Amino acid sequence: MPNHLIIEGPERGVLRITLHRPEALNALNTALLGELAETLTGAQDDNQVRAVVITGSQRAFAAGADIKEMAERDLVGILEDPRQRHWATIARFNKPIVAAVNGFCLGGGCELAMHADILIAGEDARFGQPEINLGIMPGAGGTQRLVRAVGKALATQMVLTGEPISARRALEAGLISEITQPELTLERAVAVAETIATKAPLAVRLAREALHKAEDTDLATGLRFERHAFTLLAGTRDREEGIRAFQEKRPATFSGH
């Protein structure tokens, strides 16, 4: 049983994971990250889970890595840090993640949010990479994913000054896709995840992989991947079902085959 997460569902194809370390603004200690990695590993093998929502509290999505825990690690401790393995597991998760972000979303918290496929934030959310204030730098993808999400100019300003940006700025820059009233963020994220959960799982999986390719390959390679993935889907029963349902003017029921 996880101690630092609240797990609900899956309901209507959506598993909800709430980060729950209120005493530390959901700072990501090793135990929490391990529980998250384990939960996602289980969700990957569970056909009932078609999408995941990760959220925190109204006050904080997560205020970063646990600084108190980090203080105890020397260079060798960091080299052998089990958190790296947990981050790698989270990054490999192969179903869509929607992040519902309110309040502080800082450091490792911002990096975790950037592992999501879709970010929805309350108007009070603050995104930042304040590691520089501690004499360190982002270590879970913050320099790489942030540049891809908001562009080099804003990412550089955020990483080198440590100053956070507002949800409005994050929306303009492309880090998040929607802003909501803070009390509606989770509801909206769940609704988006439920919509995705009604789609053909194999199409979702391959479309997601193709979208990821756009971030780390050249255009020709990405287009080739898209073409192969598109062709693969021609062999699925869900494609037949989707097209037949359209012709018969009824909603499609996808099976994942």
Q: Which of 15, 24, 190, 206 binds ligand DAK (CB under 6 A)?
A: 24
Shortest Å, Cβ 165 to ligand DAK: 14
Is 223:213 a contact under the CB 8 Å cutoff?
no
Residue 131 near ligand DAK by CB under 6 A: yes
From 48-56, 81-89, 184-192, 221-229, give the range in contact with ligand DAK by CB under 6 A. 81-89
Is 52:96 a contact under the CB 8 Å cutoff?
yes
Q: Which of 99, 106, 202, 203 binds ligand DAK (CB under 6 A)?
A: 106
Per the document, the length of the chain is: 257
Residue 87 near ligand DAK by CB under 6 A: yes
From 23-31, 48-56, 171-179, 235-243, give the range in contact with ligand DAK by CB under 6 A. 23-31
How far out from the chain centre does Cα 24 lie? 21
Q: Which of 36, 63, 90, 101 binds ligand DAK (CB under 6 A)?
A: 63
From 37-45, 105-113, 191-199, 236-244, give the range in contact with ligand DAK by CB under 6 A. 105-113
**Three-state SS annotation for 104-128:** EEECHHHHHHCCCCEEEEECCCEEE
Exposed / middle / buried, residue 167 (Cβ in 10 Å: 0-12, 13-18, 19+): buried
Q: Which of 93, 104, 127, 254 binds ligand DAK (CB under 6 A)?
A: 104
Residue 192 near ligand DAK by CB under 6 A: no
Beta pairing, strands 178-180 & 118-122: parallel
Closer by beta carbon to ligand DAK, 25 or else 52 = 25
Residue 193 near ligand DAK by CB under 6 A: no
Residue 92 near ligand DAK by CB under 6 A: no
From 61-69, 89-97, 181-189, 246-254, give the range in contact with ligand DAK by CB under 6 A. 61-69
Q: Which of residues 159-178 bind ligand DAK (CB under 6 A)?
A: none
**CB burial readout 107-139, b (16+ within 10 A) else e:** bbbbbbbbbbbbbbbbebbbbbbbbeeeeeebb
Residue 67 near ligand DAK by CB under 6 A: yes
Residue nearest to ligand DAK as judged by C-beta position = 107
Residue 84 near ligand DAK by CB under 6 A: yes
Smallest Cα–Cα separation from 66: which of 24, 27, 34, 37? 27
Q: Which residues are catalytic?
A: 65, 108, 111, 131
